[in-house]
Structure 1
Amino acid sequence: MQLGYPYGFDAQGRTAQALGDDHIRDLIEQVLFTSPGERLNRPTFGTGLAQLLFAPTGPELATATQFLVQGALQQWLGDLVKFTGLQVDSSDSTVTVTVQYVVLATQRQISAEFTRGGA
């Protein structure tokens, strides 16, 4: 078992845990929504995806963002999962990322959607 993300407590008041596929999903979310430079000992960790909330939208930005996100996910999680699909959408003040992947340990295929909104 691993720590749950975001950090929290379970019904017994202990640190919440994440099992198997839930832990992988938590790791993907951390990579997606962490800005480079935010982690002290890993300055290149993350994607900077949150900055997309404040950028003008367009096909060029969407394509560049998709490559950036795919590269970061592969760099940081490529030993745990094989990414088979990725779509990044920005609408109004919301970014939605849909990721399709295969968990290498179990060969389980999963599709997950992650959404963040601006203030």
Structure 2
Amino acid sequence: MAGPGRAPATDRHDFAFPLRIDAASGQVARAGYAEHVRQLLRQLLLTSPGERVCLPEFGCGLRRLVFAPQSAALAATVRIQVQQAIMTWLADQVDLVDVVVRSGADPAAGVDEGELLVTVKYLLRETRTADDLMVRVS
């Protein structure tokens, strides 16, 4: 649902993250709409509040929680922090469906001691397609 003057999401390309030069074209690398949103989500989850000078509130702070005692309370805290960060910073890009957090040693889920595995399930707002992003923090 492209607005006036905006390309449809399927045709839309944004700057890739991290910002880099595409070797083939010599231009700034670009990413399609769905990949760009995935990159934004990953950036949001892995940035700690205070890390960005011009946006000190931006981020989720997952890395600092890796050293917290592994428990159900930690998983609930991470889930709430991720939900709040996405609703604050990316609500115009995604409709959040679910956040699943696994922490501590859980070999069945592929999580080692001292790791967080966060899976974000969402709908892309412009195309209404479902996607998910898994971020492992250790």
Q: Report the TM-score when normalising by structure 1.
A: 0.89
- Whole-Å separation in 2 of the counterparts to 1:81 and 1:90: 25
Unaligned runs of 5+ in 2: 1-12, 105-112
- Whole-Å separation in 1 of the counterparts to 2:114 and 2:124: 31
Cα deviation digits, residues 54-97 of structure 1 (max 9, x gap): 11111112111110111001110001110001012223232211
Structure 1 residue 96 and structure 2 residue 112: aligned? no
The residue identity in structure 2 corresponding to 1:109 is: A
Q: Greater helix share, 1 or 2?
A: 1
Cα deviation digits, residues 15-49 of structure 1 (max 9, x gap): 32111100000000011000000111111100111
Q: Counterpart of 2:14? A: 2
For the 8 Å contact 1:52–1:90, the answer to whether it is kept is no
- Whole-Å separation in 2 of the counterparts to 1:77 and 1:94: 25
Secondary structure of the equivalent of 1:82?
A: strand
Unaligned runs of 5+ in 1: none
Segment drifting more, 9-18 vs 37-46: 9-18
**Identical-residue share of aligned pairs (%):** 36
Secondary structure of the equivalent of 1:54?
A: coil
Query: RMSD of the alignment, in Å?
Result: 1.4
Q: Counterpart of 1:109? A: 130
User: What is the CA-CA distance between 1:14 and the residue it aligns to?
Assistant: 3.4
The residue identity in structure 2 corresponding to 1:34 is: T
Q: Counterpart of 1:77? A: 90
- Whole-Å separation in 1 of the counterparts to 2:69 and 2:27: 43
Q: Give the aligned length.
A: 117
- Whole-Å separation in 2 of the counterparts to 1:49 and 1:26: 16
Q: Counterpart of 1:50? A: 63
CA pair 15-93 structure 1, distance change in 2 beyond 3 A: farther
* Structure 1 residue ranges (4+ consecutive) displaced by more than 3 angstroms after TM superposition: none
For the 8 Å contact 1:87–1:98, the answer to whether it is kept is yes
- Whole-Å separation in 1 of the counterparts to 2:77 and 2:118: 14
